[in-house]
């Protein structure tokens, strides 16, 4: 998904560390044919969202991201995000199994205070049910409450799902970054600007966006 600028895209230790696999108890994904994954039936209310709670969550986050994102990240990159901004990272669980995660940061950037979504993953059997929207919306809400004026991220130009998801949340394509990823694919830098109520009293605030998405039908640097 995204590579935090300032980090090398690959580090020697990238492929050395081991991380425990999730115990698959509870909800199980069923492989039907090769390349085809059966959806798991569940109610939205069965998904539990928790903010990053410490070292015991780290292997779960790493495992999901390593499985699903094209960029390799080192353990130092994960730690950078979750140690400094644990309140911006969330995990989604179904019956004890971690099925999705979002990892973010925030800070000063060129006279703005901005949030950055570094990683977002939902495992295949759980996709299309609003879990990513809920994860991202939670992070954005904390960013907004913390004084961020905007949120950015990068997504592969070929990643239709992510582009649709962020488009639905109001992100715009601010820039195209050529050969941004190690696999040679270009990225779009996406940006969400928060309306400033003092400047635009008539515009909806994030709370409205949140309401819209809580039911799912209703969300490099330079």
Ligand X SMILES: CC(C)(COP(=O)(O)OP(=O)(O)OC[C@H]1O[C@@H](n2cnc3c(N)ncnc32)[C@H](O)[C@@H]1OP(=O)(O)O)[C@@H](O)C(=O)NCCC(=O)NCCS
**Contact with ligand X (CB under 6 A) among 68, 149, 210, 221:** 68
| Site membership for ligand X, residue 39 (CB under 6 A) | no
- Four-residue CA torsion sign, 146, 151, 154, 159: positive
Least Cβ distance, residue 68 to ligand X (angstroms): 4
Select from 9-17, 159-167, 177-185, 191-199 the region that touches ligand X (CB under 6 A).
159-167
Under rule CB under 6 A, residue 98 binds ligand X: no
Contacts of 42 (CB under 8 A, 6+ apart): 27, 94, 126, 129
Smallest CA-to-CA distance from 71 within 1, 147, 8, 163 is with 1
User: Rule CB under 6 A: is residue 130 a binding residue for ligand X?
Assistant: yes
Lay out the sheet containing 150-156: strands in order across: 47-51, 90-94, 97-109, 112-122, 150-156, 187-193, 172-177
Q: Which of 121, 144, 151, 192 binds ligand X (CB under 6 A)?
A: 121
What end-to-end distance do the CA atoms of the chain give, in Å? 17
Residue 159 interacting with ligand X (CB under 6 A):
yes
The CB-of-21 to ligand X minimum distance in angstroms stands at 18
Q: Which of 127, 141, 173, 191 binds ligand X (CB under 6 A)?
A: 127
Judged by the rule CB under 6 A, the positions of this chain that interact with ligand X are: 1, 68-69, 120-122, 127-133, 155, 159-162, 164-165, 168
């Amino acid at each position: 998904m995204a590579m935090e600028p300032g980090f090398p895209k690959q580090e020697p230790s990238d492929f050395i560390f081991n991380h425990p696999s999730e115990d698959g108890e509870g909800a199980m994904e069923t492989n039907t044919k090769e390349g085809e994954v059966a959806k798991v039936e569940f109610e939205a209310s069965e998904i539990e969202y928790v903010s990053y709670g410490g070292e015991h969550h780290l292997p779960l986050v790493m495992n999901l991201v390593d499985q699903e994102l094209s960029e390799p990240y080192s353990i130092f990159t994960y730690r950078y995000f979750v140690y400094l901004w644990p309140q911006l990272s969330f995990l989604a669980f179904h019956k004890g199994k971690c099925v999705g995660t979002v990892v973010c940061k925030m800070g000063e950037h060129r006279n703005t205070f901005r949030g950055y979504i570094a990683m977002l993953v939902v495992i295949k059997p759980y996709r299309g049910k609003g879990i990513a929207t809920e994860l991202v919306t939670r992070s954005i809400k904390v960013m907004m409450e913390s004084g961020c004026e905007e949120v950015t991220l990068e997504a592969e130009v070929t990643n239709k799902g992510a582009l649709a998801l962020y488009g639905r949340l109001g992100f715009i394509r601010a820039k195209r970054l050529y050969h941004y990823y190690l696999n040679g694919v270009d990225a779009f830098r996406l940006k969400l600007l928060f309306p400033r109520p003092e400047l635009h009293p008539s515009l909806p605030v994030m709370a409205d966006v949140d309401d819209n998405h809580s039911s799912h039908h209703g969300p490099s640097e330079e």
